Structure 1
Amino acid sequence: MNLNRKIRLFFLSAAALAMVAFVSIPATAALGKSVVMVPESFSELAKHAKPAVVNIRTVKVTKEGGRVFKHFYGQPFGDKDPFREFFEPFLRQQPQKDYRQQSLGSGFIISSDGYIVTNNHVVAEADEIKVKLYDDKEYDAKMVGTDSKTDLALIKIDVKGLDYLELGDSDVLEVGTWVVAIGSPFGLEQTVTAGIVSAKGRIIGSGPYDDFIQTDASINPGNSGGPLLNLEGEVVGINTAIVASGQGIGFAIPSKLAAGIVDQLRSSGEVTRGWMGVAIQDITPELAEYYNLKEKSGVLVAKVYKGDPADKAGIVPGDVITHVKGDVVTSSRDLSTAIAGLGVGSKVPVTLVRDGKAKTVFVVLVKRTDSEQGEALVQSGFDEFGLNLQALDSTNAEQLGYAKEVRGLVVTDIEPEGKAAASGIRQGDLLSEVNHIRVKTMDEYVATLAKIKKGEAVQLLFRRGNTSFIAVRFTKQ
C-alpha cells in the first residue's frame, strides 16, 4: 500500500488529537494569531515511512601495485620521486592486486517494483551495489541511470510489492516548516531526525543547477540519498550535502527538481536537457536603469550563439527575457532550470523586452551544449573616467574570445585613482554603447562624449567576454 495514503489516513483519523499534539503560544500583535510550535511526536510518520528507506553499500574495485609501489609513488617527492626510476622495472613485474573501496549511503523506494532514488555520488562508478531493506533483507541492485549535474541517481532491485514514498511539491514548502530526515548517518541505519526548513534556493557551488533546501534536521555522512519528508510523509527533498565546518546545516535537492530527472532516468536511463543557445546574466539596478526597465526582473541576454535555437528565433544580445511558457523569469538560474527541464525538440514561447517593447518568439530547443569565454589584452593611457581604450579589430577580437565581426572599444588599462577603478570595470571589457549610442571607434566615442553637457549623466555599456554586460554611470566633468 502507498505509504503516503497510510500516513494521510492516520492524520485524518487523529485530527482531534492533533489539536493537542501541538503547543500554542499567545499571539503577538504583529501575527494576530496563535503560533504552532513543536509537534508532540514524529513517531507515526517515522513508523510508516521507514520501510521505504534503504541502506546502500557500494564497492568499487581498483587495480594497484603492492605495498612498495604505494609507498614510493608520489611520496614524499611527488612526480619527481628519485626512487621511481630504480623500483619501477621491478614493480611492473609484480601482479597487480585488486583493492575494494567501500562506501555507504541511503536511498528511498519510489515504486512497489523496486525503483530507488539516491545520490549520484553514493553509487557513481560502483562495481557492486547492495541494498538493505528495513527488514534486514539485502539485494543486489542494478544501475538505471545517473545525473552528475544534479547529483541524482536511480537504481533498481528485483523485488515486488514494496512499500514506497511519493515525491511531494517542494515549491509549496515554506521556510520554518517542520521536516523529517531518515537515513544511515555513519552507517547507523534507519536514523530519524527532525528540524525545520531553514532556507530555500541555496547555491553552494556544487553544480549548475544548485537550488538546495537548507534544513537544520541533523544530516551527516551516510544520510546522502535519503528522504527529507514533510509531515504528510511526502518526499520534499533528497538529502545531499553538509557544511563540514557548520553545525546543524544540511542541504537537500528539491523534489520538484528531482521529479523530472527521475522520470527521464526511469524512461531512458539518461538525462537530456534543453538548450536555447544564449549566455545570460541577472539584471543589476544599473542595467535596469540603462534599459529603462520598470522592474528589476527578467534576465539579460549577453550573447547569442550563432546557429543555435535562440539565434534562429531572432533573439539578440541586449534582449531581456521575462517569461518562458508564461512563467515569470526572475533570475538567470530560473531561466537555466526552466529550459533544462524541457525536452529536446520542444517549441517554447519566450517573452522578451527589446527597446522597451515586449514581444514573444518561439524557440525550438536542442540538446544542451557548452559556452566559451575569452581572455584580455593589456595596454596603457586614460580618458576622463580613468579608462584606456583601444578599438577592437578582427585580430584582437579573436584573442579576446569575441567573434571576428564584433566591434567596440576594449579596456586595456584602468587608472588606479580614476572613477572607473571603483566601478567594477575590468581590463578586457568591451565598451559598446554610450547613452544608448553605438560606438565602434575612438572617434565615435570622443564625438559622442562631446555632445554630452557638463554635469549630465554618462551611461556606458560594456560587454565582458561573451557572457555578460556591465552598465556604469558617471557624471560628465
Structure 2
Amino acid sequence: MPRLKSYLSIVAAVLVLGQAVTAQAVELPDFTVLVEQASPAVVNISTTQKLPDRKVSNQQMPDLEGLPPMLREFFERGMPQPRSPRGGGGGQREAQSLGSGFIISPDGYILTNNHVIADADEILVRLADRSELKAKLVGTDPRSDVALLKIEGNNLPVLKLGKSQDLKAGQWVVAIGSPFGFDHTVTQGIVSAIGRSLPNENYVPFIQTDVPINPGNSGGPLFNLAGEVVGINSQIYTRSGGFMGVSFAIPIDVAMDVSNQLKAGGKVSRGWLGVVIQEVNKDLAESFGLDKPAGALVAQIQDGGPAAKGGLQVGDVILSMNGQPIVMSADLPHLVGALKAGGKANLEVIREGKRRNVELAVGAIPEEGQELDALGNKSGVERSSNRLGIAVVELTDEQKKSFDLQSGVVIKEVQNGPAALIGLQPGDVITHLNNQAINSTKEFTDIAKALPKNRSVSMRVLRQGRASFITFKLAE
C-alpha cells in the first residue's frame, strides 16, 4: 500500500506539472490576428539605379567557379545584376535593391529606410495584392535613415501607429517584411533594450530587439501585441552578414516627426548645441568630483554656436536637460535633436564641483560635413619640461588665431613617462590640466608639479580639431 501511494503521488505530480506547462503554453501570444490585419498595409519596395556606361564582360565579374552551390548562389544574389538596353547590345547597366515599407495614410504615403531607396532612379512598390506602382520620393533624412514615399491611391490599407516611448524591455514585438525577397515574412521576439545608441548614429535612440531581421527586412514595421507600429526595422549587428540575435529599429515617434517635416517642407530641422561631448567614466567622475559616472562632459565648444552664446563652458558636465536626466552622454544628442531651432534647453551642469543651471536657445544643426576646423601642428618658441614626460611650447598669436583658441600649450616632444603611456603625441594641444585652464608653459609646469598622486587627474587635449578629456594617475 505505501508503494501504491507513492506511485499515485508521482502520477499526481506529473499531472499537475503537465497542467502548468499547458497553461504556460496557452499564455504565449498568438500573432495570427495581428498578421492578418496588418499584412495588407506592408509593402515590398524594389529600386533600380542606372550605373555608368561601360562594357560588361565576364572578366569584370568575380570568378565564382569552384565554390559550393549555396555559396555561389549567395554571392550571385548579392551582386548588382547588369541589364542590357532593350534591343540588345552592351552599355548601360542597372543595379537593383530590395526592401520593405508600410502605408501610413489612405492616400498612399509610405515609410521606409533611407538606405533602401538611396540613389535610386526608379522606385517600385508592390502591394499585398501583388500590384506594382511607381513611387515618388517625397523626402529623405539620412541622419535618421527615414524616407517618405508617395504612391497614387485611395482608401489604401493603413497601419495603426503606436507610441514607442511606452515600450519596455521584455515586451513581445513582431516584424513583417521581405527578407531575401520573401514577401510578408513574419518574425517575432522581444524588446532587448530601448534608447540604444549606435556609432555614427547620434540622433536616433534605437529600439534593440532579438527579432530575426535579414536583408530585405529594412524599412518594414515593428509591431507591439496591440498591432500598432512602434518602430521601423533598420539595422542588425552581425559578423557573418546574417542575423546574429541583435537588431535595431527606429522608434516610430522619431520616424513620424521626420515624416511630418518631410511632408511639410521636404527637409528636417533638428536642435544643435555646437559642442563635442564625451562619456564620463569612473576616473573622469572622480576627477570632476562626481559621486558616480553620469552625464555628458563638454570637451569642445563651437565658437559662436548656441552653447558658447548661452554660457556653457568646456569642462561642464551636463546632468540633465529640461528635466530629463543624462545618464549616458549619448542621451544628450537624442534630446537636443528632438528640439527645433530656437527651442529652449535648460541644462543642469556640474562646474568646478558645484551644480548650476544654464539656459540657452538651441540652434539648427549644420549641413552634414560641416565640422569644427582642424588644428594644425605648428610649434612655438618657448620650451618647458615637466614631470609628465613631455616638452610643451607656447601658442603664438598666429596659432591662437588659426586654432581659434585663447590659451593652451602645444606638445613639442613626448619622452618616456606618463604622457607616452596615455598616448599623447607631438602637436597635441593641452588646454586644461586638473580642471584648470592653461595660459602659459610656466602655468602648465606649475600645475603639473602640484598634481596629486594616486588619484585620477583629467587633461583636455585637442587633436586634429577634436577635443576630449583623458585621465591618468601619477604613481608615488
User: Aligning the two structures, in what range does the TM-score lie when normalised by the shorter sequence?
Assistant: 0.7 to 0.9
Q: CA deviation at 1:74?
A: 13
- In the TM superposition, residue 48 of structure 1 has moved relative to its aligned partner by 0.9
Q: Residues 58-77 of structure 1: matches in 2 within 5 Å?
A: 58-67=47-56
Q: Is the 8 A contact 1:182 1:190 kept in 2?
A: yes
Task: Name the structure 2 match of 1:352.
Answer: 349
CA–CA separation in structure 1 for the residues paired with 2:378 and 2:271:
34
Aligned CA distance change for structure 1 residues 414 and 211 (closer, same or farther; 3 Å)? farther
Q: Report the CA distance between 1:250 and its aligned residue.
A: 2.6
Correspondence for 1:234: 228
Instruction: Using the TM superposition, name which of 441-450 and 154-163 deviates more.
Output: 441-450
Q: Give 5+ residue unaligned stretches, structure 1.
A: 1-22, 27-33, 76-94
Return the TM-score normalized by structure 2. 0.78
- Could you tell me how far 1:43 is from its partner in structure 2? 0.6
The verdict on how the C-alpha distance between 1:414 and 1:57 changes in structure 2, with shifts beyond 3 A counting, is same
CA contact (8 A) 1:390 1:412 kept: no
Identity %: 37
1:45 matched residue in structure 2:
34
Post-superposition CA distance 1:103-134 (Å, at most 9, x none): 22110111122111001111122222221211
Give secondary structure in 2 for the equivalent of 1:267.
helix
- Determine the structure 1 residue equivalent to 2:430: 431
1:410 partner SS: strand
C-alpha contact 1:452 1:458 (8 A) present in aligned 2: no
Residues 377 and 176 of structure 1: CA distance in aligned 2, closer, same or farther (over 3 Å): farther
Pick the aligned partner of 1:166 from 157, 160, 178.
160
Task: Give the aligned residue type for 1:392.
Answer: L
The root-mean-square deviation of aligned C-alpha atoms, in Å, is 3.4
Give 1:203 deviation, angstroms.
4.3
> What's the CA shift string for 1:35-66, capped at 9, x where partnerless?
89972521111111111111112222334033
Residue 226 of structure 1: CA displacement?
0.5
One-letter amino acid of the counterpart of residue 446, structure 1: T
For residues 335-384 of structure 1, the C-alpha deviation after alignment (integer angstroms, 9 at most, x for no partner) is 11222222123233333332313123222423435322436579999643
- Flag the 1:145–1:351 CA change in 2: closer, same or farther, 3 A: same
Residues 389-424 of structure 1: CA deviation (Å, up to 9, x unaligned): 3333345557xx732533235363141xx3344445
Match of 2:254 in 1: 257
More off after superposition, 464-473 vs 308-317: 464-473
Q: 1:450 to 1:213 in 2, by over 3 A?
A: closer
- Aligned partner of 1:128 among 87, 102, 122: 122
CA spacing shift, 1:414–1:395, aligned 2, 3 Å: farther
Cα displacement string for residues 298-335 of structure 1 (whole angstroms, at most 9, x for unaligned residues): 21222221222222222221222222222222333221
Alpha-carbon shift at residue 162 of structure 1 (Å): 2.0
Alignment of 1:335-374 (within 5 A): 335-355=332-352, 356-369=354-367, 370-372=370-372, 373-374=374-375
Aligned to 1:90: none
1:371-410 correspondence runs (5 A): 371-372=371-372, 373-374=374-375, 383-395=386-398, 402-410=403-411
Tell me the distance in 2 between the aligned counterparts of 1:392 and 1:378. Answer: 7
Mean Cα deviation higher: 337-346 or 375-384: 375-384
Q: Hey, what does 1:474 align to over in structure 2?
A: 473
Counterparts of 2:412 and 2:349, CA distance in 1:
30
Q: TM-score, normalised by structure 1?
A: 0.78
Q: CA deviation at 1:97?
A: 3.4
Q: How many residues align?
A: 423
- Per-residue Cα deviation, 1:252-298 (whole angstroms, up to 9, x for no partner): 22223222212211222211222222222222222222222334322
1:4-153 map, 5 Å: 39-67=28-56, 97-153=91-147
Tell me the distance in 1 between the aligned counterparts of 2:21 and 2:91. 65
Asked whether the equivalents of residues 350 and 361 of structure 1 are also in contact (C-alpha less than 8 Å), the reply is yes
SS in structure 2 of the partner of residue 310 of structure 1: helix
**Distance change >3 Å, CA 119–CA 297, structure 1 → 2:** same
CA 343–40 in structure 1, closer or farther in 2 if over 3 Å, else same: closer
- SS of the aligned residue for 1:385 comes to coil
Secondary structure in structure 1 of the residue aligned to 2:115: helix
CA distance change for structure 1 residues 302 and 112 in 2, over 3 Å: closer, same or farther? same
Q: Which of residues 329, 332, 336 is equivalent to 1:332? A: 329
The residue that corresponds to 1:446 in the other structure is 445
